[in-house]
Structure 1
């Protein structure tokens, strides 16, 4: 979703900073608020060149106090990731400039190139999009950077899990017990760490939803080194909450069909998928809000909570 507004809506200091990173004679002629993100304020900036042509850039600014506190780390990591990804074949934005400490802008900000396409969260065409997501993730995991990003960080603990209202207490207790165990050994891979349909752009015609193709992967704020299972688990949980538990289970199959390698044993696979699923229990309302803004109005907090419960139960049944 995009809201159109004037170029003047870009904050004055930020506008001046962007201007210093434009080519001679270029100027901002329009800005558009991009909805769907959770952590940052996003704008598409339309730039008019000296000869009258148009090009677009994207401005990410961390505004909310909690996210400003983490902005320096996240923006530096994203800038490094975008630099690393240039020329790899992974369709990521190109880095233009970064101000991670708000030395020049009102808020910590990153300026990058704009990618064509849009996020697609609707049900129609999902069967054809899931294999595309899987193949794209396999390609990301195949990267071997000269300098590894930092080791992954877990996003939940056994003591902070929130058991959904009405959930089977025994099932959730067993699931929580899974993540009390030490993490299984793994072969490290380059991870996006937040790979899911909301961070993937598609070119898809309304008349041909099955003919979609991926045009970009965005939000590289937390690249990490860790098990491929962790990225697969995260996308699986998102699919389960967006489209139902069966799609969460299906994504891991699609990843292997695309040539990806997952943990060898069911107990190891269960660990990573349950760990990611339980992390969502602490932020169901936060996760569901941007999906509703993007048009999935039926995904109330309660609906998403029920899907999470059903997905955790399914994982325990299939892999437990």
Structure 2
């Protein structure tokens, strides 16, 4: 039995994958999108999105992803509920292996995103998914904590950037770090330590979260963050820190394991692309969104890079004379 073949195949959804599908569809490339284990990406666990252009009153993260998905489908993209296990990039056409079979393609767009690293205590990820006061993105959610006390966990540049950003909204920011010193650059440390809106809690780790039930409507209540149970990493003592928001800034994990080392990554595991493009080191393979973005990691920048990947792929396909395999294009 021959394997389904496409001119362009997109791995992953979210703003990057869906936008790539929209542009590839309009270029009449009939893209196939494999949506993976979390269709829609990280925005499906975000509640209110107020910084995506075109929605003046804001929009729920899952609703935004559904709009993008519907737009891609309307323009002719095909979306399959498939999770990619591995890829074979040392052959032409490329081969993509999923849980139920395999596909081949001439051009491949990787839009698998990055997953936030959580604290590993269970409640943090659960509350983060339900909008319960835990977040991994201050730029996305800081506005919702205006006038409230919040905490940031981490000790690198990202954690201090998050803390400094949150001082624009929060009543006070508590930075919790498990060590005595920070890993952040000296300039970033000086900025944070000079800011009176930030209090440092040294040698402290979050052991658990305190929550409270908040009534959202008659007869309906949700669990919200009320405070942190901090454990001293030196003497083991415990203390409570009352906050309404917790921002976990201990890094992200790019979703690249399925590549099996076939493409170069940076020191943190992000895909490397040519500057000013979405091209990887293998011609015909493109990357977009958070899987290659170490700086911005926003929905709008992910969408923009998805556009770049589709255009780069379209131009590459037009410029090359990659022969099609003997099998005809077929549907999932």
Q: Report the TM range for the smaller structure's normalisation.
A: under 0.3
TM-score relative to the length of structure 2? 0.25
The higher-RCO structure (CA 8 Å, 6+ apart) is 2
- Bigger CA radius of gyration: 2
TM-score relative to the length of structure 1? 0.25
Say which structure is richer in strand: 2
Say which structure is richer in helix: 1
